[in-house]
């Protein structure tokens, strides 16, 4: 039946137990692909509780599987339903496989987790392999320290899937900045499957109604963003301390707290921001690219999506990376700072307001990413890079 149809179909599995990173990356990929290929449809499988808050282009849709959340002890639990985690995972795996069987994709892209959450994608990978579907694992530029990633993948039994099931491994980055699998003992046949696509280019949305801007964003301002916000409390607190300490900082600040920040902390930060004349705070904005494009500078934790927006929209950025539970953000920020693409401020746990104020004052004087020579950094064509390595539609 697949040979007789004229359209192309891509299925994307978004590993998103918490936060926005995986979903936003998969949405960017989907939009770039349908923009280039007019006969292509993309379906995203996601457990994100706020996926419906985002706009999707024509020929991009999603199936939401029941959500789970990762606890501080590393275990998972259902997000909303009163089910045993084993029942929840069985339900998710069934929905994923049934959707794949009906949708019958030409290409299946799995984001970050080779076999999915607790192996939930493995049955679907095997079934689609038998059908002749092209299978691709998509990795961000930095995963974690090799000494931590290798035992994690061994525990999850990822290597057999990389060796026997996947046709390619797409790395959304550049090798001169980072090799996400550096230091991991990979068979040559697995290493040969790696394709660097460049960083995922971001643009300000032009379709649909223009996003409403907070009043503070209608004049020069600094954007402070935490991504999903679940682990961004320290950054917000530190920036607020700086403005409380030095109300004459060069630019007003717009804080985007993130939808997954604890409600009581959101309320606390909103209250503190309301007492400052040159600081405003919102919980969420569905077109963060628009805010980034209008900002004079960006202060962020340095997740993958924010880094892509900073370099794509050519913004000066101050990165304050987290170091737990993964060193991913710290590794990315350190490499980028060494190359002069961003400035980095380490979280030393003291949150001295004078230190943050000094960094904010220096932000307008640093180079833009475009002023730093990194071959290929701002030249990647996502759709071309991905599809030319697989098949045409």
Confidence of residue 378 (pLDDT cuts 50, 70, 90): low
CA 153 vs. chain centroid, Å, equals 20
Distance separating alpha carbons of residues 23 and 11, to the nearest angstrom: 13
pLDDT of residue 168: 95
Per-residue tokens: 273: 């921001």
Beta pairing class for 253-256 and 222-225? parallel
What is the full DSSP assignment across 112-138?
S-TT-GGGTTHHHHHHHHHHT-EEEEE
For the chain, give the longest Cα–Cα distance.
Answer: 67
Which of helix, strand or coil describes residue 365?
helix
Sequence-separated (6 or more) residues with CB below 8 Å from residue 69? 17, 18, 76, 77, 78, 79
pLDDT of residue 380: 54
Q: What CATH number should be reported for the domain whose range is 2-200+378-387?
A: 3.40.50.2000
pLDDT of residue 381: 52
Of 253, 169, 229, 306, residue with least CA distance to 18: 229
Is a pLDDT exceeding 90 seen at residue 76? no
Distance separating alpha carbons of residues 42 and 360, to the nearest angstrom: 41
Whether the domain at 2-200+378-387 and the domain at 215-371 fall into the same CATH topology:
yes
Confidence of residue 389 (pLDDT cuts 50, 70, 90): very low
Distance separating alpha carbons of residues 67 and 50, to the nearest angstrom: 10
Q: Greater confidence, 159 or 286?
A: 159
| Helices 304-312 + 21-36 axis angle, to 10 | 50
Q: Does domain 215-371 have CATH number 2.60.210.10?
A: no
CA 5 vs. chain centroid, Å, equals 33
Distance separating alpha carbons of residues 175 and 169, to the nearest angstrom: 14
**By the 8 A CB rule, do 279 and 300 touch?**
no
Sequence-separated (6 or more) residues with CB below 8 Å from residue 89? 68, 117, 118, 120
**pLDDT tens for residues 277-325?**
999 999 998 888 999 999 999 999 999 999 999 999 999 999 999 887 7
Alpha carbon of 339 to those of 178, 299, 332: distances in Å? Answer: 12, 18, 11
Q: Greater confidence, 264 or 376?
A: 264
Dihedral angle sign, alpha carbons of residues 262, 264, 268, 271: positive
- Residue 382 gets the label, from left (phi > 0), alpha (psi -120 to 50) or beta, of alpha
Per-residue tokens: 202: 């971001």
Domain extent listing, the chain: 2-200+378-387, 215-371
Mean confidence (pLDDT) of the chain: 89
Alpha carbon of 85 to those of 22, 75, 97: distances in Å? Answer: 21, 10, 18
pTM for this model (two decimals): 0.89
Of 43, 80, 49, 91, residue with least CA distance to 63: 43
Distance separating alpha carbons of residues 69 and 57, to the nearest angstrom: 28
Query: Would you tell me how many other CB atoms lie within 10 Å of the CB of residue 340?
Result: 14
How many CA atoms are closer than 13 Å to the CA of 35, on its beta-carbon side?
A: 18
Which of helix, strand or coil describes residue 253?
strand
**pLDDT tens for residues 332-349?**
999 999 999 999 999 988
């Amino acid at each position: 039946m697949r040979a007789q149809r004229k359209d192309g179909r891509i299925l994307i599995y978004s590993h998103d137990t918490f936060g926005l990173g995986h979903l936003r990356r998969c949405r960017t990929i989907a939009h770039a692909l349908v923009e280039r290929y007019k006969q292509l449809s993309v379906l995203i499988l996601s457990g994100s509780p706020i996926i419906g808050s985002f706009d999707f282009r024509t020929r991009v849709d999603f199936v939401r599987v029941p959500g789970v959340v990762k606890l501080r002890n590393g275990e998972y639990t259902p997000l909303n339903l009163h089910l045993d985690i084993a029942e929840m995972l069985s339900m998710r795996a069934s929905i994923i496989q049934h959707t794949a069987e009906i949708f019958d994709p030409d290409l299946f892209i799995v984001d970050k987790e080779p076999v999915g959450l607790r192996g939930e994608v493995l049955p679907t990978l095997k079934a689609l392999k038998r059908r002749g579907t092209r299978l691709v694992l998509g990795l961000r530029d930095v995963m974690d320290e090799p000494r931590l990633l290798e035992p994690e993948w061994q525990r999850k039994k990822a290597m057999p899937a990389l060796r026997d099931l996947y046709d390619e491994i797409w790395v959304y980055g550049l090798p001169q900045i980072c090799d996400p699998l550096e230091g991991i003992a990979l068979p040559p046949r697995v290493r040969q499957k790696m394709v660097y696509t460049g960083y995922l280019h971001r643009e300000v949305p032009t379709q649909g109604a223009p996003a409403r801007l907070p009043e503070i964003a209608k004049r020069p301002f600094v954007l402070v963003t935490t991504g999903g916000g679940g682990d961004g409390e320290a950054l917000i607190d530190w920036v607020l301390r700086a403005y409380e300490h030095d109300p004459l900082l060069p630019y007003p600040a717009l804080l985007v707290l993130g939808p997954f920040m604890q409600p009581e902390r959101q309320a606390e930060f909103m209250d503190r921001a309301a007492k400052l004349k040159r600081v405003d705070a919102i919980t969420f904005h569905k077109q963060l690219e628009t805010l980034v494009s209008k900002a004079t500078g960006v202060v962020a934790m340095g997740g993958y999506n924010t880094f892509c927006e900073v370099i794509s929209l050519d913004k000066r950025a101050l990165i304050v990376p987290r170091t737990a539970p993964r060193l991913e953000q710290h590794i990315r920020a350190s490499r980028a700072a060494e190359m002069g693409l961003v400035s980095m401020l380490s979280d030393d746990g003291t949150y001295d307001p004078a230190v943050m104020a000094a960094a904010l004052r220096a932000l307008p004087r640093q180079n833009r990413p475009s002023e730093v020579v990194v071959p290929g950094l701002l030249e990647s064509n996502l759709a071309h890079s991905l599809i030319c390595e697989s098949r045409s539609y």
